[in-house]
């Protein structure tokens, strides 16, 4: 039973993970301005499509997938949590590689991170309590929604505001530090994941057949929903790529922070979130590379928002 699996994790590493997540959010938000959010109001089709898919359609579709497949409760819990998380900062780099609309991607990451302060705990607890096997887990740990909100604020909300403040106050410094800062934070996170993966490698090898398929299917669902909704709403091709990657590249690092903080004994859920963090890089980079060789086609569809 995967629900009995114990992940080897040094509690002091949680501090490093929290700091790394905050640094990544800070780096993403350095180039953001209040005008970027106003631009979304003027031309909202792509960002709104992505955000609706991210926070409403994907969690609901994930719940349907869980009811259909009936995975172990811990695996279901991990899938629900990942689907409730906002888009990951990796999506911005992947959108650039894919020749997508980077402005759309960055604005979606920022807005979804801000929206996640409320919607991540709300979606996670709503669907976890709606499914009896996971409801029993949530009841057993007495998860306080306010504590989850406070954690998300600390890891995403405050770094977002600080990044915007620093970037706007020191515009001359921004071109020199933004890119190196992003890549450094990304590198630290990847090293952290690599060390954690190496520490639990034997555990992964022993159980991968029980959870890897769920992650691959779930990630394919997320990418397909992003692509399908962007096409359904007749987005320009560059925006289709941005929305697809934003929905398909989830901030599973935030999921790990929540799990290790409140549910460190849920080994199956941790395996789902950890493998998501690895697999969505593989799927996202593969898709970005495919698109990088194909410039977005000119389209007669105009955004009249």
* Contact indicator for 188, 18 with CB cutoff of 8 Å: no
Q: How far is CA 116 from CA 1, 85, 153, 232, 269, in A?
A: 32, 7, 9, 25, 19
User: Which one-letter DSSP state was computed for residue 43?
Assistant: S
pLDDT at 12: 61
Our CA angle for 99, 24, 223, nearest 5°, is 45
Domain hosting 115: range is 9-292
**Residues 92, 73: Cα–Cα separation, whole Å:** 32
- For the chain, residues with pLDDT lower than 70 are 1-14, 35-40, 142-143, 178, 182, 185-186, 189, 192-193, 195-201, 203, 298-305
Closest by Cα among 132, 161, 152 to 33: 161
Predicted confidence at residue 64, as pLDDT, reads 96
* pLDDT for position 170: 81
Distance CA 171, CA 35 (A): 15
Cβ contacts of 196 within 8 Å, gap of 6 or more: 9, 13, 274
**∠14-17-22 over CA atoms, to 5°?**
130
Residue among 32, 34, 27, 26 at smallest CA distance from 178: 27
- CATH code, 146: 1.20.1530.20
Taking phi over 0 as left and psi of -120 to 50 as alpha, with beta for the rest, 99 belongs to left
The answer to the question of residue 298 being in a domain is no
Tell me, what's the pLDDT at 301? 41
Q: Is residue 305 part of a domain?
A: no
- What's the longest Cα–Cα distance across the chain? 55
Considering the domain boundaries, does residue 16 fall inside one? yes
Q: Cα–Cα distance between 19 and 251 in angstroms, integer?
A: 15
Instruction: Give one DSSP letter per residue of 144-172, joined into a string.
Output: -HHHHHHHHIIIIIHHHHHHHHHHHH-TT
Domain count, the chain: 1
Q: Does residue 3 lie in a domain region?
A: no
- Tell me, what's the pLDDT at 233? 92
4 found inside a domain: no
Please tell me the pTM assigned to this model. Answer: 0.83
Residue 109 lies in a domain: yes
Q: Which residues in 131-164 are b (16+ Cβ under 10 Å) and which e?
A: bebbbebbeeeebeeeebbebbeebbbebbeebb
The CA distances from residue 249 to 8, 77, 181, 187, in Å, are: 26, 18, 20, 17
- List, in sequence order, every residue forming a beta bridge with 250; answer none if it has no partner: 87
In angstroms, the CA 14 to CA 71 distance is 27
Whether 238 and 296 have beta carbons less than 8 Å apart is answered as: yes
- Report whether 3 contacts 73 (CB < 8 A): yes
Please indicate, yes or no, if residue 304 is contained in any of the structural domains: no
- Helical H runs in 30-144? 34-42, 45-52, 58-69, 73-84, 90-97, 102-130, 132-141
Q: Is 134 contained in some domain?
A: yes
């Amino acid at each position: 039973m995967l629900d009995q699996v114990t992940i080897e994790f040094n509690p002091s590493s949680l501090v490093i993970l929290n700091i790394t997540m905050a640094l990544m959010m800070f780096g993403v938000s350095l180039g953001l301005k209040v005008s970027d959010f106003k631009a979304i109001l003027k031309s909202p089709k792509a960002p709104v499509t992505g955000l609706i898919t991210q926070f409403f359609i994907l969690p609901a579709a994930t719940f349907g997938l869980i009811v259909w497949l009936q995975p172990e409760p811990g695996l279901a819990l991990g899938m629900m949590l990942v689907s409730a998380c906002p888009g990951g900062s990796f999506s911005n780099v992947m959108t650039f590689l894919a020749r997508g609309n980077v402005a759309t991607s960055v604005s979606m990451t920022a807005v979804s991170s801000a929206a996640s302060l409320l919607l991540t705990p709300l979606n996670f607890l709503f669907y976890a309590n709606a499914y009896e096997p996971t409801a029993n887990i949530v009841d057993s740990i007495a998860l306080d929604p306010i504590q989850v909100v406070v954690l998300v604020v600390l890891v995403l909300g405050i770094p977002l505001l600080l990044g915007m403040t620093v970037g706007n106050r020191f515009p001359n410094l921004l071109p020199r530090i933004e890119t190196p800062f992003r890549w450094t934070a990304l590198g630290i996170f990847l090293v952290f994941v690599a060390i954690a993966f190496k520490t639990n490698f034997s555990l992964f090898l022993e159980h991968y057949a029980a959870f890897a398929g769920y992650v691959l299917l779930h990630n394919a669902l997320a990418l397909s929903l992003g692509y399908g909704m962007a096409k359904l709403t007749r987005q320009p091709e560059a925006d289709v790529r941005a929305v697809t990657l934003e929905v398909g590249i989830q901030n599973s690092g935030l999921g790990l922070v929540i799990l290790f903080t409140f549910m460190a004994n849920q080994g199956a859920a941790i395996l789902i979130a950890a493998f998501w963090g690895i697999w969505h890089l593989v799927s996202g980079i593969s898709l970005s590379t495919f698109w990088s060789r194909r410039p977005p086609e000119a389209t007669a569809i105009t955004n009249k928002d």
